[in-house]
Structure 1
Amino acid sequence: MSMTLALEDYIDITFSEHKLHAYLHFVKYDESFGCTFEQLESFVRSHEVRFGVLTKVLQEIASNPVAFKQGATMIAEGKPSVSGEDGYIRMLIKSGEQEQRPLEHEDGTVDLKQVKNLDNILKGQRIAQRIPARPGIAGIDVTGEPLKSKDGKEARFKIGKNVVVDQDGNFMYATIDGLIARTDREKINVFPVYEVNGDVDYRTGNIDFVGTIVIRGNVLTGFTVKASGDIRVYGGVEGALIEALGSVEVTGGIIAGNKGLVKAGHNVKCSFIQEANVSAFNDVLVTQSILHSHIRAGKQVACNGTKGLIVGGIIQAGERVSARTIGNTMSTATVLEVGVQPDLRNELTQLRSNLRTSIDGLEKTEKALRLLDQLASTGQLTGEKLGLRIKLNSTKKQVVQEQTEIRDRIFEIEKMLEDTTTARVDVFNVIYGGSKIVIGRNTRFVKDASKRVTFRLSEGDIVMNAYQ
């Protein structure tokens, strides 16, 4: 009986998932077992193990087999594949998101004279750079076969108004002088700026501007300010209607007396909100407090400053509500809803209908093109029809590109709507009785005060855990 056959009786080789590791284990063991390193090595190779063999381990097994008779011993290690890094867009210019704050005195008042000049951008200036994705690096399993790797995902510029991208798609430039503003779904725009050097009142009247609006004073009750870029108010906002396709930033607070509405296509940032209606496509970010207000955010409502207090009203967010303190000792009814995304549901319906219309349109275009192609093949394409054919081909290209974007967005929304696992309420300090937590279709009433907790959905129930 040859030794290899005898080895077959004593030991066996198994592989881990994807054959990244090979293990040797004894199927039986008795004192008579013995083998040389060379015999062991050729046994291992006869079992397809060809890469990353741990020679030292094989030498140890051959010289002292009894030490290895229990359990499995790793005798070869492959090289795992490395996923590529995703590409991203790097901003080369500060956008309004990092706007410097005015000087705040110890008593909480704000010196508006200290507000710096705006970060205006000039026509032709570079705004952003596309950093390409990196390819993955393939690995090798212990049998010497390559292990596939995943390449990084390329980033795409989200192109808004008054910006262009160079031919290679690497840089974005401004086509006018103005301020950078991000609007729905992170589109980058440059908008002209309209400045008001005081309050919005009877002297200025209502404002509706196709760019970004900067107000160096307050916006009084009953007035309307609308912008297709950002709206920045360096004073406070009363019961006014403020509507921006970009972000709304209010240095002072919003005290609305349950009148008016502040609505942003991106984020709303301010120091405090009282008796107001506020709605943002992405985030509502507040430093001090939210009192008796109705707040809606597609992603998150965060009230995480030194005070970080939410009391009364209804706070609704697609993904997360976070605050230092929620409710008060008087058990004021405070409702926190997460996982509610009515805006996304509406957008999904709209996108599906747009896609159907687009597909119908594309069919008509393709039919017309087929006819023109037939004419071309028989040499009957006259000047006018030639022009039409060029135009239809360019339309077709554009529609196909649009459809890809619509499908990507539908997929993105469906994923967001399915994923209620991320929906959560985080309390950094204390939540009081009288608070009500709603996640998706589930409700939980908070009866007693609890410190540093997180509420999330687990197996159909809202559970409360210690905040990590």
Structure 2
Amino acid sequence: MVAKAYSTEQGNHALTRPDKQPPPRLIPKLLFETETLSDSDNNSFQTVELVRKGQPLVELLAPPGAPPRNPTELVPGKNTLLSDDKCKLLAEIDGYPLLSKKSNQGIDLIMISVVPLLSIADDKMSATISLYPPVRNSPELSRETLMDILTSQEIRFGISLENLDRLLSLCKEKRSPLKDETIARGLLPLNGKASFLRFEIEVGPLPGTIMGNGKIDFRERKMFVGVSKGQIIAKRIPPTLGTPGLTVTGEEVPQIPGENLPVTVSDDAEYDEESGIIRALQNGILSLVSENSIKVCAKQVIPGNIDYSTGNIESQDAVEITGTILPGFRVKTHGDLLLKGNARSANIKCKGNLVVKGGILGKKCKVKVSGDADFGFMEQGQLRVKGRVIIRKQAYYAKIMANGEIHCENSSRILAGLLMSASSLNLGNVGSPNAPFSLLAAGIAPGRYLRYLKIRSDLKDVEQERLVFLQRYGLKQKVNVLKSLEKTVESLHNDLTKLNLIPGTDANSADRGIEYLRTIAITVQGTIFSGTELQIGNATTIVKNDLTGVRFTLDSHTGTFIETSL
């Protein structure tokens, strides 16, 4: 085989021949004006000319003389675009160009970014402007030009022409930039109002409601309001639709229509859906179980105590007991119940509202209420309420569960208690230096929260059992027993982390309930002592220091607690 030979001259020529010519060394030319100004405080800064969208900002040109020492490269910054031939930078928006220069590995880099003249908020409910003082010998930004730019960006609603003129004049007179000044605001939607009952008779104060001044109404409930046969009690006012809003770009923002709350009547009350009128069918006593649930029934007065002389009480009427319910006795009422004494280790079921002038006492005392519950004090025992709870004086070692808010008078005290509400808590004083810690839970489904506490307690017990096992047997003995304990720990831990406590969500869903928890708070008007455990939704924390006059809410983004002084 004969190999083809090449001359040395030919080979050297092939090795040294460049594949392509080096790029020519060009020089940059700025295509916008700048000027150094001093403001009223003699601070110097550089103002720049306003550039329009698509306008060239800099271009690379062949030098008239000797080429520059280093090659130049254009780098697009924020809101700029490099041309296809890489010799120009173009503005992508209307605004003010900012120049930046640096060298990197022997290359001079020219970067330009553009500060937006106009910015629209993410929700399109506002627009802002940034202005630089005009450059000498360059055209000033006029109202007409600015309106054209606003129109080009589809900003057409909520613009104040007077404010535009003021900002243009202010920037020019003060000779200093203006940043993010609001020039247009959208119109927020007006949500509709929910349906409600307008009472035609005086029902008196409803403790726990928020009054016009923002304070809580702690006046005593007016019990046993009498009504006559045929008397109109209330009229249902239908919900309103509300009014949609508008963004600064003219888009409609839908409103939330008012909720059509159901009306419930029972016993001797009648509701006409067409007219919305509720009237009494017989003479009787009005029981307002909730703001949309009405009963009319008779009234029964039981003088003295509930004891062996009376036996257990089961009544279809509203009931007034002038004495005390003694231990072991049961009282069940279909209407409201007014107890002027105490409930001592008793069992109470009230399908209306409950008012206890005295207190609820004893570990074995169990109380269930379909409406609101209002009492002076509670020591031990368990209270389950579908409406609101009003605590006048104190609650010690008590378990209180409510679907509505739990409100305490400012001078009251919660000690070593467990308070659970699907809504918010508004409390007086919580804890003391020497008592066991209290547990306060808001924005939770009480039934799920009890399950959560049970799982947490079981987990703690099994972990303690595993620790004792390891200390006694180590890792190599009775391996099957150890594996069983570890499997139980893992199962309980999974159950604990998966359980969703927020009302209205599925118990095992990942729904964070952001909208529901937005209005939930734990408010303490007096002092809350360190060590108190707080729960809002699925988040928990321990109060680290004694605090006075504080509100706890949940950050909807991070899920962490926020403390706000009252």
TM-score w.r.t. the length of structure 1 is 0.65
Residue 310 in structure 1 maps to residue 414 in structure 2: yes
Other-structure match for 1:301: 406
Residue 343 of structure 1 aligns to a residue in which SS? Answer: helix
> What is the 5 A alignment of 1:250-265?
250-254=356-360, 256-265=361-370
CA 326–160 in structure 1, closer or farther in 2 if over 3 Å, else same: same
How far has the Cα of 1:457 moved from its partner?
5.7
Q: Number of residue pairs matched?
A: 381
**Post-superposition CA distance 1:211-244 (Å, at most 9, x none):** 3222222222222110122211122222221111
- CA distance in structure 2 between the aligned counterparts of 1:268 and 1:222, rounded to whole angstroms: 21
- CA distance in structure 2 between the aligned counterparts of 1:322 and 1:234, rounded to whole angstroms: 25
Candidates 504, 529, 533, aligned match of 1:413: 504
**Post-superposition CA distance 1:56-102 (Å, at most 9, x none):** 56667898984588446879646625414413313413448649xxx
Preserved contact between residue 235 and residue 252 of structure 1 (Cα < 8 Å): yes
Other-structure match for 2:194: 87
Preserved contact between residue 58 and residue 75 of structure 1 (Cα < 8 Å): no
Residue identity matched to 2:505: E
Query: What is the aligned-residue RMSD (CA, Å)?
Result: 4.5
Structure 1 gap segments, 5+ residues each: 1-5, 100-114, 347-410
Structure 2 gap segments, 5+ residues each: 1-50, 56-90, 96-116, 208-220, 451-501
Residue 206 in structure 1 maps to residue 303 in structure 2: no
- CA distance in structure 2 between the aligned counterparts of 1:78 and 1:433, rounded to whole angstroms: 45
> What is the 5 A alignment of 1:2-401?
14=118, 16-17=120-121, 30-34=135-139, 40=145, 43-44=148-149, 47=152, 54-56=160-162, 66=172, 70-71=177-178, 77=184, 80-92=187-199, 93-95=201-203, 98=206, 118-138=224-244, 145=250, 147-150=252-255, 152-162=257-267, 163-183=269-289, 186-254=292-360, 256-306=361-411, 308-329=412-433, 331-339=434-442, 340-343=444-447
Preserved contact between residue 87 and residue 133 of structure 1 (Cα < 8 Å): yes
CA 89–149 in structure 1, closer or farther in 2 if over 3 Å, else same: same
Q: Which has the higher contact order (CA 8 A, sep 6+)?
A: 1
Preserved contact between residue 21 and residue 74 of structure 1 (Cα < 8 Å): no
- CA distance in structure 2 between the aligned counterparts of 1:199 and 1:153, rounded to whole angstroms: 47
**Post-superposition CA distance 1:413-463 (Å, at most 9, x none):** 229983566665443333346655455676656676444445566688875
Other-structure match for 1:431: 528
Residue 40 of structure 1 aligns to a residue in which SS? Answer: helix
Preserved contact between residue 138 and residue 149 of structure 1 (Cα < 8 Å): yes
Preserved contact between residue 133 and residue 171 of structure 2 (Cα < 8 Å): no
Residue 377 of structure 2 aligns to a residue in which SS? Answer: strand
How far has the Cα of 1:153 moved from its partner?
0.9
CA 118–150 in structure 1, closer or farther in 2 if over 3 Å, else same: same
**Post-superposition CA distance 1:100-143 (Å, at most 9, x none):** xxxxxxxxxxxxxxx99831122322222233444444556666
Preserved contact between residue 21 and residue 142 of structure 1 (Cα < 8 Å): yes
CA 60–324 in structure 1, closer or farther in 2 if over 3 Å, else same: closer
Residue 414 of structure 1 aligns to a residue in which SS? Answer: coil
Moved more, 60-69 or 203-212: 60-69
Residue 221 of structure 1 aligns to a residue in which SS? Answer: coil
Percent identical: 21
- CA distance in structure 2 between the aligned counterparts of 1:434 and 1:44, rounded to whole angstroms: 59
Other-structure match for 1:400: none
How far has the Cα of 1:158 moved from its partner?
2.1
Preserved contact between residue 410 and residue 429 of structure 2 (Cα < 8 Å): no
Residue 127 of structure 1 aligns to a residue in which SS? Answer: strand
Preserved contact between residue 390 and residue 406 of structure 2 (Cα < 8 Å): yes
CA 36–337 in structure 1, closer or farther in 2 if over 3 Å, else same: closer
